[in-house]
Structure 1
Amino acid sequence: MNVSPMEYTFRGLNYEIRSATEKDAKNLSEVRLQIDGETENMDRVQGEAYIDEAGFKKIIKADSEKINNIFLVAEVNGKIAGFCRCEGSMLKRASHKVEFGVCVLKEYWGYSIGKSFLAESINWADTNGIEKMALSVLEINEKAVTLYKRFGFEVEGILKKDKLLSDGKFYNTLLMARFREE
């Protein structure tokens, strides 16, 4: 599904949150690869589960056609600074919920892009009758956990020793969800 673009300004940075288009596919492939190398907060190390331009075109096309999927990008001066997705299920018993994921290039951390993605995604979900937004986050990603809680997400479970990071230690993953207010 597609949404109307929204303009934001924070700390002097102007950016637009909008639906991804197939023209973004090459840039998205590059941005995802770069982000995976900038942080250990993602599920992948750089280069794993690589999605090329054709792969992103396929995802964008599918997301724009499905009523319970959304794919948003943050654009700064014609460049993609990050993206997020809400992916739903076509299965009847799971059609009430979506899985939220987000990533932002490190140079754009601190400009509330993640917060804007989350706000736009929640608005879309609530407007479209999505009852539950779920996500997973490393317990040590304290800024993200705090942001999610501020937006009404709660911890539903913990996956113990779920991720092995570069320091050789295992870390827990928090399973969080937000339920639509009635």
Structure 2
Amino acid sequence: MIIREITQEDAIELIKFQKQLDNETKFMLFEPNEREIDEIQQSKMIMSFLESNNSNIFIAESDHRIVGYLSVSGGRTKRIRHSAYIVIGILKDFTGKGIGSELFNAMEQWRLSTKIKRVELTVMTNNEFGIKLYKKMGFEIEGIKKNSMIVDDRFVDEYYMAKIY
């Protein structure tokens, strides 16, 4: 397993990964077949992350295939530049193998070279494995976002979670 920062050459593989993730889990934002992005758009998005001093994407790679990722989107305006929003996803066959912790550790090492002092995320309240990982990595629940999403025609709440450095 290799954990590394993304490159523009990963655009097609990232699209494949995200579409597979959308089909495998109900804990991500997109429904199956809802994500519409092509290689050019994905490449531009990756470049915008790479050019930023407070955003990045880390990938977990197995046999030259992306099996997990963690994106860090830093605030763009002066008042929130110290803060970043995290999205993490791992393919079903690779969960429970420490990849989430390794992705967070890579982000933590990178964060030391930035001015980020707060990382935050949202997680569905029924995502027990995700919540356990985030707490293990030092995140705390700050609040609840009621009726945040509709999954299988039912409202789902999310926790706001954050870690302060």
What's the TM-score, normalizing by structure 1?
0.86
Say whether residues 1:65 and 2:51 are aligned partners: yes
CA distance in 1: counterparts of 2:40 and 2:34, whole angstroms: 17
Q: Residue 33 of structure 1 contacts residue 50 of structure 1 at CA under 8 Å; is this kept in 2?
A: no
Partner of 2:126: 140
**Counterpart selection for 1:48 from 34, 38, 48:** 34
Say whether residues 1:96 and 2:86 are aligned partners: no
Query: How many Å apart are 1:48 and its aligned residue?
Result: 1.8
Query: How many Å apart are 1:76 and its aligned residue?
Result: 0.6
CA distance in 2: counterparts of 1:153 and 1:101, whole angstroms: 14
Partner of 2:25: 39
Identity, % of aligned pairs? 31
Misfit runs of 4+, over 4 Å: none
CA distance in 1: counterparts of 2:109 and 2:119, whole angstroms: 11
What's the TM-score, normalizing by structure 2?
0.94
Secondary structure, aligned partner of 2:149: strand
Partner of 2:104: 118
Q: Residue 70 of structure 1 contacts residue 87 of structure 1 at CA under 8 Å; is this kept in 2?
A: yes
**What residue identity is the alignment partner of 1:170?**
F
Structure 2 residue runs of 5 or longer lacking an equivalent are none
What do residues 61-118 of structure 1 show as CA deviations (whole Å, max 9, x unaligned)?
A: 1111111001111111111112111001220001000001111111111211111111
Partner of 1:77: 63
Give aligned pairs, total: 165
Partner of 1:175: 160
Q: CA RMSD in A?
A: 1.2
CA distance in 2: counterparts of 1:51 and 1:72, whole angstroms: 19
CA distance in 2: counterparts of 1:139 and 1:145, whole angstroms: 8
Structure 1 residue runs of 5 or longer lacking an equivalent are 1-14
Partner of 1:10: none
CA distance in 2: counterparts of 1:119 and 1:50, whole angstroms: 30
What do residues 118-155 of structure 1 show as CA deviations (whole Å, max 9, x unaligned)?
A: 12112322442311000000010011111111111111
